[in-house]
Amino acid sequence: MSAVITLRPAVRADIPLLKAWDEEPHVQFSDPNSGDGSGWEWDEEIEAGWLGFWHFMAEADGGPFGFVQVIDPHIEPTRYWGPTGPGHRAIDIWIGPAKWLGHGYGTRMMQLALGYCFSDETVHTVLIDPIEENTRAHRFYQRCGFQPIGLRKFGAHTCLVHQLTRASWRNGDHNA
């Protein structure tokens, strides 16, 4: 990978692209809400400006290829993560076009997302919730330093929740 990877805030003009990426088979497989009608509501997600939500487009040399959502689960209104207490962040991350998979772009996206999360000195833990069957995602997150902490039911889906602590991130206890 020789491209420069950056994250920029997602904007309304990104919504058609995000909706198109939702149709990609690898995106559908990674989304526990895919196919049940409770997936991403992009107009609302991007436009709402909800407290505790940050949306980013990942770009390589100026062109978008991925999406990152950072959530403060302690204050987000749906209470999806349950009671977490302050100092946590949760990440949703994916690459849109399949041709970008397996080339290191996801690793760089994750590094940037974690840097964003831990730039807030009050954040001590980052959470992620890949579905139980998505073992490729489990391996990726573990290479990035995340440790599995247990299975959890989110709606109709079981996810293997992972966490990364600030101490592990700072110590470089990962290969990413």
45 has pLDDT over 60: yes
> Given this model, what pLDDT does residue 174 score?
55
**Reduced to 3 states, what is the DSSP secondary structure of residue 161?**
strand
> What φ, ψ does residue 143 adopt, rounded to 5°?
-65, -30
| Range name among 48-52, 54-58, 82-86, 142-146 with the lowest pLDDT average | 48-52
Does residue 141 carry a pLDDT above 50? Answer: yes
Residues above pLDDT 90, as percent of the chain: 44
pLDDT > 70: percent of the chain: 85
What are the pLDDT digits (tens) for 2-17?
788 999 999 989 888 8
Q: Please name each of the domains of the chain with its CATH number.
A: 5-171 (3.40.630.30)
> In 3D, which of 34, 37, 40, 52 has the Cα closest to residue 15?
40
Query: What percent of the chain is helix, strand and coil (3-state, nearest 5)?
Result: 30, 30, 40
Question: pLDDT (tens digit, 9 = 90+) per residue, 95-115?
Answer: 877 777 778 888 999 999 999
What lies within 8 Å, CB to CB, of 49 at 6+ separation is none
